[in-house]
Amino acid sequence: MYWVKVLHLLQQRIRTQSFNNWFKPTQQISEDVSSVKILIPSSFFRDVIQRSYLDIITSCIKDAHLPEKELSFVTSEEWEEFRSQHVDSQKVHPNLNPLYTFDQFVEGSSNSNAYAACRAVSDNPGKSYNPLFIYGGVGLGKTHLLHAIGNFVYQHFPNKNIIYVSSDAFMNHLVEAYRNGSVHEMRKYYRSSDILLLDDVHTLGGKERTQEELFSLFNILYQANNQIVLAADQPPASLVNVEKRLVSRFSWGLVVDIQPPELEVRIAILQKKAQFQGITLPNDVALYIAENIKGNVRLLEGALKSLIFHSSIKSESITLDLAHKALDPLASPSLQSYSNFKGLPNLHITLNDILLTVAEYLNVPPDILKSKNNRPHVVVPRQVVMYLARNFLHSSLTEIAQFFNKHHTTVMYGIDKISETIAKDSKFKEQIDKIVQLIKERGKSFENKL
């Protein structure tokens, strides 16, 4: 089996600890001529594997003389969902997240122009608005809509070549192409697209070579009536350090904005996302979350996840009371004083994910961290997990205590101890910073496509 062969080599090439943490729990669930799907315990694994181990996996594939295949890391929920939605799994575009469809998008007045424009472009690629430029704040559904166009076109115009790429990835591709002399191939690849979905173009600011490359690509695609769709956090005219000629081209077609969703839409989104996971969200709970989280749909989703997490860990049903507990900021003093924690609600991580990261970073096996072993080299990392769980996940003392099978006063003591040490010992704080950074990087919410 493909993945088993990869694992076999991988095991000889990375630290045992890392292998046990991140690869032992994986397992191949499907394989066809071009792709392999691998089951992972949580989406956090995908982030870790993709961020830290892709290169070495690639070299193992080569050395094992295996054919190159698309590797997808999926959680069991994603796999179930995927199977129920796509009986014919051939229909999934390798570059696109199959969960980001028009069906899964909730339309409302804040996004209706963008939504209508995307539908028009999907019905008639290259013929309605070209280019289409979508702009709006973070977490408002721009990436979702780009993928939705791609997924729709893929289903209805199977002969069209669709390329989705973020501007960063485009730039990296270019840098790489320069490095190994394959610029010609790279141009050919992008120029062959019938539909180019280019995300986050605001990140192009100041990158002159990339802009130049994009400029010629744009002209070629445009002249051939191939569809271009762009997304950014600013309208074209406000993009900083992007060449005028590019900015002007960005506005040749249609420019539409997405605004933060209004209350009704936020409620509808929550209900749709909950339903998708097979959970019934009581109306008062949906209203409570929607009233408290306004600007960013990703945060709404984060709140829902946190609520579901609390309900599952406590085996309690989802009620307004539980929502109050789960979503109360609960800001502990250490949370407020520790600036690194700002912006973390975006992350989709679990207590176990934190355990694994700390275990790897401090080189203690995760099962020892959860054991009764009370030697100092185990106790401190365990307390670090407690501290991070409290601050990252707002886990209650009871939850953390249950997780480690300890008394809640032990947890409280551990968290205080770490807070104190951080305040006193700058070396120690640096280490914690690094772990926080690692978890942040690994846990970045999206980018996790099947």
Binding site residues, ligand ADP, CB under 6 A = 100, 104-106, 111, 136, 138-144, 269, 297-298, 301, 446
CB of 92 to ligand ADP, least distance (A): 17
Q: Answer with the entry of ligand ADP, Mg ion, none that 249 interacts with (C-beta below 5 to 8 A by kind).
A: none
Between 21 and 97, name the residue whose CB sits nearer to Mg ion.
97
| 145 token code pair | 């809509």
CA distance 211 to 179: 18
| Of 136-144, 260-268, 352-360, 427-435: span binding Mg ion (CB under 5 A) | 136-144
Between 143 and 227, name the residue whose CB sits nearer to Mg ion.
143
Q: Where are any strands of DSSP class E within 233-344?
A: 254-258
Q: Answer with the entry of Mg ion, ligand ADP, none that 140 interacts with (C-beta below 5 to 8 A by kind).
A: ligand ADP
CB of 142 to Mg ion, least distance (A): 5
Binding flag, residue 143, Mg ion (CB under 5 A): yes
| Of 112-120, 135-143, 254-262, 362-370: span binding Mg ion (CB under 5 A) | 135-143
Q: Answer with the entry of ligand ADP, Mg ion, none that 114 interacts with (C-beta below 5 to 8 A by kind).
A: none
Q: Answer with the entry of Mg ion, ligand ADP, none that 301 interacts with (C-beta below 5 to 8 A by kind).
A: ligand ADP
Between 143 and 383, name the residue whose CB sits nearer to ligand ADP.
143
Contact 221, 187 (CB under 8 A): no
CA distance 80 to 58: 27
Contact 303, 289 (CB under 8 A): yes
Q: Answer with the entry of Mg ion, ligand ADP, none that 302 interacts with (C-beta below 5 to 8 A by kind).
A: none
* Region for 225 from its dihedrals, namely left if φ exceeds 0, alpha if ψ lies in -120 to 50, beta otherwise: left
Q: Answer with the entry of ligand ADP, Mg ion, none that 446 interacts with (C-beta below 5 to 8 A by kind).
A: ligand ADP
What's the angle, vertex CA 427, arms to CA 425 and CA 433, rounded to 5?
Answer: 105
CA distance 315 to 48: 28
Question: Which residue in 273, 271, 296 sits closest to 284, CA to CA?
Answer: 271
Between 14 and 140, name the residue whose CB sits nearer to ligand ADP.
140
CA distance 176 to 208: 16
Contact 159, 89 (CB under 8 A): no
Contact 158, 191 (CB under 8 A): no
Minimal CB distance to ligand ADP: which residue? 141
Contact 303, 293 (CB under 8 A): yes
CB of 123 to ligand ADP, least distance (A): 19
Between 135 and 218, name the residue whose CB sits nearer to ligand ADP.
135
Q: Where are any strands of DSSP class E within 369-448?
A: none
CB of 96 to Mg ion, least distance (A): 14
CB of 115 to ligand ADP, least distance (A): 8
Longest Cα–Cα distance of the chain, Å, equals 69
Applying CB under 5 A, the residues found at the interface with Mg ion are: 142-143
